[in-house]
Amino acid sequence: MFGCIFLILLSACGGGDGTPASEPYPQMSAEQIIERSSPLLDEQNSFHFKLDEEGGGTPINMGLIMMLAEGDIEPPDRGKMRMEADWFGQFVEVKLVTVGTMTYMTNPINGKWELLTNDFTAITLFQPDTGIRSVMESVTDLVRLESERFGGTRCFRLQGNLDSMALDAIAVGHAVEGLNVETDIWIGASDFLLRKVVFDGRVTKEEEEGIVRTLTLSRFNEPVKIELPE
C-alpha cells in the first residue's frame, strides 16, 4: 500500500528526480496566440535582438549588404546595434544608433559616425506600424505545431506563410509583392513574448532562392543605454 502511494506522489511531482511536472500548455488556437502576443513587444521597456541571414543578405545603405545585425531596442524609437556586412566584396562591421528620427552609422572606411540623411532608420523592424508586430499579424494559413523549448523557455510553435511585401521592414524598402515566405514562430507559453521567427524565402527580386532569415529576441526589460554619438 505504501509503495502505491509513493508511486502516485512521484507521478504528481513529475518523477523521482525532483523535477516538477511541466505545466500544461494553454489550449489556444494559433490565431489566439498571435492575437495575444503581437502587441506585447511594444509594451516592453527594452529587449535584445539578433537577425541572422543565411544564403544571402539585405542591401541597407552606403553599398552595404547586411548579413547579421544584433543589438538593443527601447520601444518605440530608440535602438543601437552592430552589423556584419558585405561591402563591395569585403567583410566589414559597422555600428548604428537611432533615436527618434535620427540615425547615425559608422563609416565602413574610417569608423567615424555619420548622420544618415535619407529616410533609413535602424529600427523599422520594431516599430508598431511597420515592424514585427505587423508581420506577426500578417501571417496566413497559421497552424499550431507541437510545442517545444527554445533558449530554456517553454514555447508555442506556430507555422504559416507571409507575402514578401509584409517583410518590407526587414528588406529596408526593397521588398516586392507576391513571393511566398514560409514562417516559423516561437512564442513563450507563460508570457506570450516572441522568442524566435524564421523567415524562409526571398523578399526581393535580387535575392537568390534559399535565403533564410532568423530573428531571435531576449533580455526583456533589462537596463540599456541608447544615446546618439557626440
Residue 159 domain flag: yes
Residue 74: strand pairing partners: 78
In the chain, what's the furthest Cα-to-Cα distance?
79
Residue 41 domain flag: yes
Residue 188 domain flag: yes
pLDDT at 8: 33
- Write out the chain's pLDDT in tens, 230 residues: 444 433 333 333 344 434 344 677 778 999 999 999 999 999 999 999 999 999 999 888 788 999 999 999 999 999 999 999 999 999 999 999 999 989 999 999 999 999 987 666 778 889 877 789 999 999 999 999 999 999 999 999 999 999 999 999 888 878 999 999 999 999 999 999 999 999 999 999 888 899 999 999 999 999 999 999 98
Ramachandran area for residue 61 (φ above 0: left; ψ -120 to 50: alpha; else beta): beta
Cβ atoms 35, 187 nearer than 8 A:
no
Cβ atoms 66, 81 nearer than 8 A:
no
Residue 179 domain flag: yes
Residue 16 domain flag: no
Residue 109 domain flag: yes
pLDDT at 170: 85
What phi and psi, each to the nearest 5 degrees, are found at residue 67? Answer: -110, -30
Number of domains in the chain: 1
Residue 164 domain flag: yes
Residue type, 96: L
d(CA 142, CA 140): 5
Residue 197 domain flag: yes
